[in-house]
Amino acid sequence: MNNKQKIWQVVHQIPRGRVASYGQVAKLAGLPGYARYVGHTMMMLPRDTKLPWFRVINSAGKISFKKGTTEYLRQKSLLEAEGFVFVKGKLSLKQFGWNQD
């Protein structure tokens, strides 16, 4: 399995109602310290992917796309459809973070 497949496998496991950070995905894929690589890999996904890419956010609990862009609004909408609540543009990782244990 190549690194991209490892990342996509981890993202596939993020349950509905939970989010993971890019760094967390990297670590779980066996690529600690490769958060940016995870981000670049996620950008390669086709627009109609079934993978829950939108459940991956940055370590501050924010969407990484520039606020107000089409991509930002799409990710925010998908997260809100799952019941996520943003406060001042952030999600609470304590409340919504994925604890894979």
pLDDT digits (tens, 9 = 90+) for 18-51: 999 999 999 999 999 999 999 999 999 998 999 9
Rounded (10°) CA dihedral 27, 32, 35, 39: -70
The answer to whether residue 101 sits within a structural domain is no
pLDDT tops 80 at residue 100 = no
- Which CATH number do you get for residue 20? 1.10.10.10
Please give the tally of structural domains in the chain: 1
- Structural domain harbouring 14: 3-96
**DSSP symbol at 55:** G
- What pTM, to 2 d.p., does this model score? 0.92
pLDDT tens-digit series, residues 69-80: 999 999 999 999
At residue 101, the pLDDT reads 60
Region 46-65: mean pLDDT is 95
